[in-house]
């Protein structure tokens, strides 16, 4: 634990310097890089299992090629870069966040204003963040949509759907399902770009809007992935109440979040303290919120992916 941050920063730095992309083009020697101490960073990445070296020539391991290069469809590079540029400096103020119970955007970067203005300061910053979330989504979303049988639902709408990875996973898993990606207008070009690459793209619509202020598209199953953990105890009941009112009888809400228990979930809860108004929760805490909103049945499942799955149903209709 004492030096875990060193490992993270070594990977972040190699990604920021473009090491993995350059080595994906072709294996290289340390002296082919312009940085004076690149041999130390490359050797550290070998020790971390990110690179391999033979007779002084470095190359990516399969995991680095898959997750740490920009052109890979499973790339996590967006979140790695976001972690280096944004999260790493913000975590330096964890003590103040704990003392004051509030995020660290102003202390770290001098930023005021609405929460997601911080994530989306520029189009480049927004795309980096969205690409990182897309990498997580490609790992998690197929397991989330398969956690419960959603085959009887005709229309799946992901609120705050970002690049559409959850909607894509649902429509690819359930051939009869139609999908809607609902997110802020600025996100729509990226969402349409990613949705177009799916075999189910023709069944998916991208609709701009703000789930707090705009009417929700009609659907019989809504989804919120990594959304509820962003918001305060005052705002979550407002959103859940709005979703419940929009659902038809027998409709459902699918939630993709970490359920507290594992170390990773508690680390993510601290991350929410530093970055947002929210937190991670236990299944019992989610159930209390959902039943208070009117949902009659709540189930949770640990998926083994970066996020877990919770399904809440509205009474009435054919429960199947």
pLDDT digits (tens, 9 = 90+) for 171-196: 999 999 999 999 999 999 999 999 99
Active-site residue, selected from the candidate residues 103, 134, 165, 229: 229
- Active-site annotation holds for 229: yes
b/e 14-32 (16+ beta carbons within 10 angstroms → b): bbeeebbbbbbeebbebee
d(CA 245, CA 242): 5
118 neighbors 87 (Cβ within 8 angstroms): no
Residue 183 to residue 87: CA distance in whole angstroms: 23
- Nearest Cα residue to 114 out of 62, 49, 184: 184
Delimit the CATH 3.40.50.150 region(s) of the chain: 136-313
The Cα–Cα gap between 131 and 165 comes to 11
Q: Does domain 4-67 have CATH number 1.20.120.350?
A: no
Residues of the chain under the 50 pLDDT cut? 319-320
* pLDDT reported for residue 120: 67
- The CATH label, of 3.30.300.30, 3.40.50.300, 2.10.109.10, 3.40.50.150, for the domain at 136-313 is 3.40.50.150
CB atoms inside a 10 Å sphere around CB 185 = 10
Are 249 and 319 a contacting pair, CB within 8 Å? no
The two structure tokens encoding residue 295: 């949902």
At residue 320, the pLDDT reads 44
What is the reported pLDDT for 124?
Answer: 78
Beta-carbon neighbour count of residue 33 at 10 Å?
Answer: 19
Contact 151, 175 (CB under 8 A): no
Q: How high is the pLDDT of residue 83? A: 92
Residue 116: the pLDDT is: 62
Q: What residue ranges of the chain are covered by domains with CATH 1.10.10.10?
A: 4-67
Phi then psi for 312, rounded to 5 degrees?
Answer: -120, 130
Give me the pLDDT at residue 63, please.
97
- Residue 177 DSSP label: -
Q: What share of the chain is helix, strand, coil (3-state, %, to 5)?
A: 50, 15, 35
When the pLDDT of each residue in the chain is averaged and rounded to a whole number, the result is 94
Q: For residue 264, give every residue at least 6 positions away whose Cβ sits within 8 Å of its Cβ, in sequence order, or none.
A: 258, 306
pLDDT, tens only, 111-158 = 876 566 666 677 777 777 788 788 889 899 999 999 999 999 999 999
How far, in Å, CA of 281 to CA of 288, rounded? 11
| Whether this model's pTM surpasses 0.75 | yes
Check residue 113 and give its pLDDT. Answer: 63
């Amino acid at each position: 634990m004492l030096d875990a941050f060193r490992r993270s920063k070594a990977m972040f730095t190699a990604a920021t310097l473009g090491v993995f992309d350059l080595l994906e083009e072709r294996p290289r020697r340390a002296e082919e890089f312009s940085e004076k101490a690149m041999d130390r960073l490359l050797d550290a990445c070998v020790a971390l299992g990110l690179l391999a070296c033979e007779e002084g020539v470095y190359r990516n391991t399969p995991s680095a090629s898959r997750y740490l290069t920009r052109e890979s469809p499973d790339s996590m590079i967006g979140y790695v870069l976001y972690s280096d540029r944004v999260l790493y400096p913000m975590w330096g103020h964890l003590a103040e966040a704990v003392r004051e119970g509030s995020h660290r955007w102003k202390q770290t970067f001098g930023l005021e204003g609405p929460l997601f203005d911080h994530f989306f300061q520029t189009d480049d910053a927004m795309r980096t963040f969205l690409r990182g979330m897309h990498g997580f989504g490609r790992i998690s979303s197929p397991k989330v949509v398969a956690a419960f049988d959603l085959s009887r639902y005709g229309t799946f709408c992901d609120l705050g759907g970002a690049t559409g990875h959850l909607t894509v996973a649902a429509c690819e898993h359930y051939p009869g399902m139609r999908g809607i990606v609902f997110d802020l207008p600025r996100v729509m070009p990226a969402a349409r770009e990613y949705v177009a690459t799916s075999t189910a793209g023709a069944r998916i619509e991208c609709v701009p809007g703000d789930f707090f202020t705009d009417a929700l598209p009609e659907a019989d199953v809504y989804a919120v992935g990594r959304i509820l953990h962003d918001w305060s105890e005052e705002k979550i009941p407002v959103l859940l109440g709005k979703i419940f009112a929009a659902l038809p009888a027998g409709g459902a809400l699918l939630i993709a979040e970490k359920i507290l228990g594992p170390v990773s979930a508690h680390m993510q809860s601290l991350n929410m303290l530093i970055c947002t108004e929210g937190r991670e929760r236990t299944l019992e805490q989610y159930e209390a919120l959902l039943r208070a909103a009117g949902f009659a049945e709540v189930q949770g499942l640990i998926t083994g992916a970066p996020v877990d799955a919770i399904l809440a149903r509205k009474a009435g209709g054919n429960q199947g």
